[in-house]
């Protein structure tokens, strides 16, 4: 006979989901033990960390990942990270244990009350099957929802006494065998019309968003930009989960500012703005202005109907980003040789150095040593711009950032990214404040010997919040200083060999050494407080 558990693991196997991230409790044990030999369980010590790891793993592997959470309190812990996974478009199956069916109505301890409502705004699908025999079918549906564009998390709550229930073939066999896929081709008429507008435009521009990378459209974007001589802007860094265009390319102009007014002004003078793989736009903070300058028109390409519907300006084509860029390049068979080449990028001058290193100094040193096929996972708010300016990431699948705005993604996700990409070196760049939101991921990195190199910038404060306080006209906000946090000592206590440095030559030597070692390593560097753009 086949149990719910047998059928569920067979389903996971069919979808290549043989790695399970999680933090277990008594309500999950009936699912987990004994784990089939072809599965591995990656233990996170807190659920937000488990979700962040699974998010990084899903994005970097380009396939669905499974994260298993403890019932109500564990699911609650995971919700902020589930929000992040939704914003990052990470295909995730999120499962959580539930009390035994006979105990739910009396709300016995560990009942997940209204379980489906807990992560509701952030999952594409949420379900608690009415019968044990429906569990494999519900899991299959969640997998399809999670992977169909736009990808995202899907949730199933599973009562703990369901796993041992025996199934008849009719309950599960055809349901778990289904293959469901669908990357939409754009409508030919819309592509023809867009190609015509692009041909006729005098100063068109291209905005590269994260979904170019996720959809495999990197080469198509480069080919289109080169043949049409388009200047390229990256979509705002504050919510760009990935990079969609090589930032060392001569057509690259920089990263768009995230606020409405400055963003519109930056694109002024372009009669047609083509946005690929980004919302229009992940605006923040509230600096009002025109969405677009007079004379500018905008067309966005997105796989997400919601993103298309809620844009405050412009038109949209809803289809797979890579397929659309290829279709557009085909429709524009002739290169735009008569158009002027994009101007050279305006370089930002690094701020004059003081006694202490700046974030820009640190990223300049990192750029010197960064491996050709390295991957950056970034969560260092006051030096995000400096890292983008200094590193000039130029290969696909090489940059991950939390699009949801929640801290805790970076440290956790870096472990998942490295597990998904064992042949490439992951460098995780963190602020000392950001590191605290997923601090226990150091334990998983050490315990599973995941060789991430962590670079922690320690400036003794929440620098970005001081910058925001000035922008918002807020004075004397409490609790923006973080004296004496020592991430190096904390990571060492979890088993990650760590060094703390303060001088440029020490940093250089410590990074060389860390990159040469086989396991996880951490370098903490003291930097001057404040924002650094370059
Ligand atoms: C879950 C979560 N809580 C709080 C915040 C608000 N927040 C944004 S940036 C920041 C400070 C981060 O400090 P640190 O990593 O030291 O970076 P710095 O600004 O100093 O570069 C905080 C608390 C957030 N974004 N996410």
Q: Cβ contacts of residue 489 below 8 Å, gap of 6+?
A: 498, 500
Is residue 165 over pLDDT 80?
A: yes
Q: What three-state secondary structure class fits 218?
A: helix
Average pLDDT over the chain, rounded to an integer:
97
407 Cα to the center of ligand 1, angstroms: 6
CA–CA gap between residue 464 and residue 466 (Å, rounded): 5
Compute, in degrees rounded to 10, the torsion defined by CA atoms 56, 61, 64, 68: -40
252 Cα to the center of ligand 1, angstroms: 29
Per-residue pLDDT averaged across 26-35, rounded? 96
Q: Closest ligand 1 atom, CA of 434?
A: 15
Q: Is 122 in the pocket of ligand 1 (CB under 6 A)?
A: no
| Local confidence band at 491 (pLDDT 50, 70, 90 cut-offs) | very high
Residue 352, pLDDT score:
75
Q: What angle do CA 285, 290, 293 make, to 5 degrees?
A: 130
CB 532 within 8 A of CB 383: yes
Residue 354, pLDDT score:
82
| Local confidence band at 355 (pLDDT 50, 70, 90 cut-offs) | confident
Ligand 1 pocket mutation, candidates 379, 386, 407, 467, criterion most atoms within 8 A of CB: 407
Residue 346, pLDDT score:
87
Residue 286, pLDDT score:
93
Chain centroid to Cα 107, Å, comes to 36
Q: Closest ligand 1 atom, CA of 381?
A: 21
Q: Is 464 in the pocket of ligand 1 (CB under 6 A)?
A: yes
| Local confidence band at 262 (pLDDT 50, 70, 90 cut-offs) | very high
Which residue's CA is the nearest one to ligand 1's atom 10? 462
Q: Is 431 in the pocket of ligand 1 (CB under 6 A)?
A: yes
- Other Cβ atoms closer than 10 A to 210: 28
Structure confidence by residue, pLDDT tens digits, 316-343: 999 999 999 999 999 998 999 999 999 9
| Strands (DSSP E) found in 14-58 | 19-22, 40-43
| Local confidence band at 270 (pLDDT 50, 70, 90 cut-offs) | very high
Q: Is 238 in the pocket of ligand 1 (CB under 6 A)?
A: no
Q: Which of 210, 523, 256, 253 is nearest to 380 (CA)?
A: 523
Cis, peptide link before residue 514, omega less than 30° from 0: no
Q: Is 84 in the pocket of ligand 1 (CB under 6 A)?
A: no
Q: How large a percentage of the chain has pLDDT more than 90?
A: 96
Residue 376, pLDDT score:
98
Q: Closest ligand 1 atom, CA of 482?
A: 16
Q: Is 99 in the pocket of ligand 1 (CB under 6 A)?
A: no
The values of phi and psi at residue 234, to 5°, are -85, 145
Residue 112, pLDDT score:
97
Q: Closest ligand 1 atom, CA of 531?
A: 21
Is residue 239 over pLDDT 90?
A: no
Ligand 1 pocket mutation, candidates 381, 471, 527, 531, criterion most atoms within 8 A of CB: 381
Indicate whether this model's pTM tops 0.85: yes
Classify residue 239 by its DSSP letter: G
Q: Is 409 in the pocket of ligand 1 (CB under 6 A)?
A: no
Q: Is 46 in the pocket of ligand 1 (CB under 6 A)?
A: no
Q: Is 111 in the pocket of ligand 1 (CB under 6 A)?
A: no
Which residue's CA is the nearest one to ligand 1's atom 11? 462
Which residue's CA is the nearest one to ligand 1's atom 17? 431
In the beta sheet, which residues pair with residue 400? 377
């Amino acid at each position: 006979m086949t149990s719910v558990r047998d059928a569920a693991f067979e389903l996971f196997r069919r979808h290549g989901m043989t790695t399970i991230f999680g933090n277990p409790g008594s309500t999950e044990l009936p699912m987990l033990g004994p784990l089939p030999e072809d599965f591995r369980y990656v233990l996170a010590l807190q659920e937000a960390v488990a979700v962040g790891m699974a998010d990084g793993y899903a994005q970097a592997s380009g396939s669905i990942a499974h994260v298993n959470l403890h019932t109500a309190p564990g699911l609650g812990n995971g919700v902020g990270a589930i929000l992040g996974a939704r914003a990052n478009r990470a295909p995730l199956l999120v499962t959580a244990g539930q009390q035994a069916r006979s105990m739910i109505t009396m709300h016995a301890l560990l009942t997940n009350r209204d379980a489906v409502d807990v992560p509701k705004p952030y999952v594409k699908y949420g379900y608690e099957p009415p019968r044990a025999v429906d569990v494999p079918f519900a899991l299959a549906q969640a997998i399809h929802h999670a992977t169909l564009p736009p990808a995202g998390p899907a949730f199933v709550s599973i009562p703990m006494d369901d796993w041992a229930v025996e199934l008849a073939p009719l309950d599960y066999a055809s349901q778990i065998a289904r293959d469901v896929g669908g990357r939409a081709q754009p409508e030919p008429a819309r592509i023809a019309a867009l190609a015509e507008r692009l041909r006729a435009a005098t100063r068109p521009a291209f905005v590269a968003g994260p979904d170019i990378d996720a959809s495999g459209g990197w080469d198509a974007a480069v080919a289109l930009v080169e043949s049409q001589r388009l200047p390229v802007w990256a979509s705002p860094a504050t919510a760009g989960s990935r990079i969609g265009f090589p930032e060392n390319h001569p057509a690259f102009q920089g990263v768009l500012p995230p606020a409405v007014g400055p963003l519109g002004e930056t694109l002024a003078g372009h009669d047609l703005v083509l946005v690929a793989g980004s919302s229009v736009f992940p605006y923040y903070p509230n600096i009002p202005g025109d969405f677009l300058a007079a004379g500018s028109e905008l067309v966005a390409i997105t796989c997400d109907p919601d993103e298309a519907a809620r844009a405050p300006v412009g038109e949209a084509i809803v289809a797979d980003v890579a397929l659309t860029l290829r279709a557009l390049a085909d429709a524009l068979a002739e290169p735009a040789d008569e158009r002027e080449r994009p101007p050279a990028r305006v370089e930002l001058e690094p701020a004059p150095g003081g006694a202490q290193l700046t974030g820009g100094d640190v990223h300049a040193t990192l750029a010197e040593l960064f491996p050709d096929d390295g991957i950056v996972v970034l969560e260092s708010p006051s030096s995000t711009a400096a890292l983008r300016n200094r590193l000039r990431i130029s290969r696909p699948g090489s940059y991950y950032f939390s699009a949801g705005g929640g801290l805790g993604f970076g440290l956790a996700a870096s472990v998942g990214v490295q597990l998904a990409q064992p042949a490439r070196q992951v460098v995780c760049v963190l602020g000392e404040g950001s590191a605290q939101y997923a601090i226990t991921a150091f334990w998983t990195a050490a315990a599973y010997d995941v060789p991430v190199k962590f670079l922690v910038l320690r400036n003794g404060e929440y620098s970005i919040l001081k910058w925001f306080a000035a922008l918002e006209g807020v004075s004397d906000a409490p609790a923006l200083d973080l004296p004496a946090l020592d991430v190096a000592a904390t990571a060492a206590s979890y088993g990650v060999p760590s060094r703390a440095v303060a001088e440029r030559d020490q940093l250089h030597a410590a990074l060389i050494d860390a990159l040469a070692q086989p396991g996880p390593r951490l370098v903490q560097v003291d930097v001057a407080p404040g924002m650094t753009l370059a």
